[in-house]
Chain A
């Protein structure tokens, strides 16, 4: 396959960036999107040019590191698929492919296609955990978890924190991520003691990271590689409004 790539190139966080055009040929349809970029990078290095920086880690769709807008869609055209699991057979020979980094004030560009997603980690630090005393493990069946709750919590826990929801959102909102992270812990009996503090803490951290607000456009749900539903956002809104009406404030 022969492809024309338009890639965002930016030297440093504070340097201006621009779209650069690269023509790559001899691409196999069985290569993944990231392997195609690897091929391009090898050729760039041979020519003595700086390779394109992009985030990647597991390359099997479970870590959430890969992050790029492909033709205006987070993780590219295939639904429920991360960029690393996207294969070149999804494209046609001669296609022009536009590749941009996630664009959000909260996710500043580090270089080229790499963005700083520490804002997500700070949201987790604001309450995305369950505090337990260390010591010997408790008896496994001491605390019963209803099967439906456990299944639902697992749906929320599949979030890999890639940031596609933020990237696609016309408002740049981080609701889907935050809601999934809050929601799965709020479903467990172990999550109940810290439920209100967790919800308020994480939502307000999200707000202070300069993410946008939710207009219920449902774009996040459409690009989420794990198919996380916007029902989680309603659940978070419910938990948050309840906690605020109870007068819970951020610690």
Chain B
């Protein structure tokens, strides 16, 4: 622990931790999207997938063992990600206490500039998403054990579907800057693959964002019912 706390006081290490935890979110999100898209295969397949998440790893591991392991890792990653971001933000505030009358943005893109805000909003969205479709305490008609029905009845409420669509657009922006940025933070740069870092970040974030948005849109348009 002393080893870790000694390392953790350095800004570049914090940034590397943000990159590694971010990388973990990307992998998890890809799996989450792949699983959720089964909603297009109908209630049986989707609910069977939800059941698989609980039974995965049995009988070697206890029921829900893998699920709770992943949940634990995600929680740890989120805590480290937000903790590092907060501490770096405070460092940056201290680094310029009297600001310019005017400072022009030159290569600063929208995603990079709004990283902090998209981060806050995505964090709120995650909590809301859990309360809505995992715990069900903000869902108007939650049926434990029937995720397909909960998803469809949840997204049939137009304002809720719009919140999901908006949040996933923001998530796309956050992913785009994060995915490109983590290469830099981990020291992965070479003229041979530098252009591909951008292409990869753009493609991945668009696929993720549109993939998740497709689900509430499908419910609203009646493709899924």
Contact = CB atoms under 8 A, between A and B. Distances in A.
A223 interface: yes
A222 B103 CA distance: 13
Interface string A172-184: 1100000000000
B181 interface: yes
A235 B187 contact: yes
Interface stretch (B10-18, B54-62, B75-83): B10-18
Interface in A222-238: 222-223, 230-231, 233-238
B106 A213 contact: no
Contacts of B96: 103-105, 172, 212
Interface centre among A69, A71, A237 (most CB of B within 10 A): A237
Given A106-B95, A216-B112, A73 B185 contact: no
Interface centre among B102, B104, B105, B188 (most CB of A within 10 A): B104
Interface residues on B, range: 35 or more
Nearest to B183: A234
A234 B187 CA distance: 4
Contacts of A33: none
A98 interface: yes
Nearest to A239: B187
B83 to A, nearest CB: 14
Contacts of A231: 189-191, 194
B125 interface: no
B186 interface: yes
Given A103-B99, A171-B92, A213-B92, A218 B12 contact: no
A71 to B, nearest CB: 7
B101 A19 contact: yes
Nearest to B98: A103
A31 interface: no
Nearest to B112: A217
A240 interface: yes
A194 interface: no
Interface stretch (A58-66, A128-136, A202-210): A202-210
A223 B105 CA distance: 10
B184 A216 contact: yes
Interface string B1-30: 000001100111111100000000000000
Contacts of A69: 100, 102-103
A219 B95 contact: no
Interface in A36-67: none
B95 A104 contact: yes
B149 interface: no
B41 interface: no
Nearest to A249: B6
Given A213-B88, A237-B12, A218 B186 contact: no
A94 interface: no
A214 B15 contact: yes
A238 B99 CA distance: 31
A186 interface: no
Contact of B107 (A6, A203, A210, A222): A222
Interface string B95-133: 111111111111110001101000000000000000000
Contacts of B188: 234, 238
A21 B184 CA distance: 42
Contacts of B108: 170, 217-219
Contact of B181 (A103, A211, A215, A239): A215
Interface string B165-197: 000000000000100110111111111001000
Q: Nearest 3 CB-CB pairs, A to B?
A: A238-B187, A234-B189, A212-B95
Interface of B: 6-7, 10-16, 88, 91-92, 94-108, 112-113, 115, 177, 180-181, 183-191, 194
Given A73-B104, A222-B107, 18 more contacts: A71-B104, A72-B100, A100-B101, A171-B92, A203-B12, A204-B10, A212-B95, A213-B88, A214-B184, A215-B112, A217-B112, A219-B106, A231-B189, A231-B190, A233-B184, A237-B185, A241-B186, A249-B6
Interface of A: 6, 19, 69, 71-73, 98, 100, 103-106, 168, 170-173, 203-204, 207, 210-219, 221-223, 230-231, 233-241, 244, 249
